[in-house]
Structure 1
Amino acid sequence: MSKIKEQLLAHLHNEVFCRLGVSPVHGIGVFAVRAIPKGENPLASRLKYREVKFSHAELKKLPRGVRKEIDIFCYYDKDAIFVPEIGMNSMNMAIYLNHSKEPNVRYRKNGQLKALKDIKVGEELFLDYDQSYGEKHTFK
C-alpha cells in the first residue's frame, strides 16, 4: 500500500468525526458521526489551513456574488478580511460551527479545535464566538 493511501486510511479511521447537517439552532451545523472524546480535535485536516489578510479596498472590486460569499464565510473586522489560502472553492467545515454560550468545542492557541467534553453521536458541535474571536457577537 502506498504511503499516501496508508496516511489517508489512518485519517479516515482516526480523525473523521463529523458531518454537516440541518441545525435546529441555525441553518447548517456540524454533527458528530461517532463519539468524540474530550480533548480530541474533531475537525483535524490533512491540509494546512492558513488565511491571507486583505484590506477592504483590495477586495472591493470583486463581483458582488463573490463578495457576498466572502462576507458570509470569511472572518473580517474593520481593518481587514481574512480569506483562506486554499480559496473559496474548498471548504473548511469549521465555518458551520454554530454559536452557543455553552460550547462543547473551542480553539486552542495553535488554531486547532478541541472538544471540551465527550461528544455523543448525533450531537451538534458548538463554539462560543465571543470567547473564540475575542469580541461580542450580535445575530440578526
Structure 2
Amino acid sequence: MSMNQNKKKIIGRLRKTYCRLRPSKIEGVGVFAIRDIPEGASIFCGADRQRWFKFTNKELDNLDLGIKKMIDDFFPTDEKDYILAPQNGLNSMDISFFLNHSNKPNCRITEGSSFIATRIIKKGEEITSDYKTYDNNFKVWKTFKNLTSPEK
C-alpha cells in the first residue's frame, strides 16, 4: 500500500471517531461522545479486533500482582469462569476497555466484539454498556454481593 493510500485510510478512520476518555461520574474514567453518534453506528470503528483466548486463574497465577489487578479490571470471564484475554494482551487495549457499566446502556456488544449504538448518543454523553451481557464475573459479583450500580 502506498503512502497516499495509507493516509487516506487513516483519514477515513479519523472521520469515524466518535469518542474520547474523560473523568466519569459513574466510576474513574469513562468514554464520552465528542459528537452525536447515530443509532446503529459502530462506535469504535477502526479499533483492531483480536482473537480472544480462555485462561484459568492457575495459568495466570505467576504474573506480577499489578498485571493480575489489570486483568481483573479489564478482562471479562465466561460462564465457566475462564478469563478471556485478547491475543495481544494488555498493551493492545483500545478505548472500548474504558466503557463503564449501566443497567440502561446506550450501546451493545456484538458477537464479533464490536460496540453498536442502540440509540442516538448525544455529544458529551457517557457511552455505557451492560457488563452482564458479556462478563460472567460481573453477573456473579452483582448477584452475590447484592451490589447496585454506582450510577444515579
Q: Of the candidates 118, 121, 124, which is equivalent to residue 119 of structure 1? A: 121
- How many pairs were matched up? 139
1:3-44 Cα offsets, whole Å, 9 max, x none, are 11111111101x210101111111111100111000001111
Give the TM-score normalised by the residue count of structure 1.
0.87
Separation (CA, whole Å) in 1 of partners of 2:135 and 2:73: 16
Separation (CA, whole Å) in 1 of partners of 2:108 and 2:43: 10
Which residue of 2 is the match for residue 50 of structure 1? 51
Q: Does 1:95 align with 2:97?
A: yes
1:65-111 Cα offsets, whole Å, 9 max, x none, are 11111111111255421122122123221221111111110012332
1:75 maps to amino acid:
P
**Contact 1:106/1:132, CA 8 A, preserved across alignment:** no
**Contact 1:54/1:80, CA 8 A, preserved across alignment:** yes
Which residue of 2 is the match for residue 62 of structure 1? 63
**What SS does the aligned partner of 1:66 have?**
helix
Q: Of the candidates 2, 5, 24, which is equivalent to residue 4 of structure 2? A: 2
**Shift of the alpha carbon at 1:130?**
2.0
**What SS does the aligned partner of 1:7 have?**
helix
Percent identical among aligned pairs is 37
Runs of 4+ that moved beyond 6 A: none
Q: Structure 1 pair 127/28, CA: closer, same or farther in 2 (3 Å)?
A: same
Give the TM-score normalised by the residue count of structure 2.
0.81
**What SS does the aligned partner of 2:123 have?**
coil
Which runs of 5 or more residues in structure 2 are unaligned? none
**Alignment root-mean-square deviation, CA:** 2.0
Separation (CA, whole Å) in 1 of partners of 2:26 and 2:81: 30
Which residue of 2 is the match for residue 22 of structure 1? 23
Which residue of 1 is the match for residue 87 of structure 2? 85
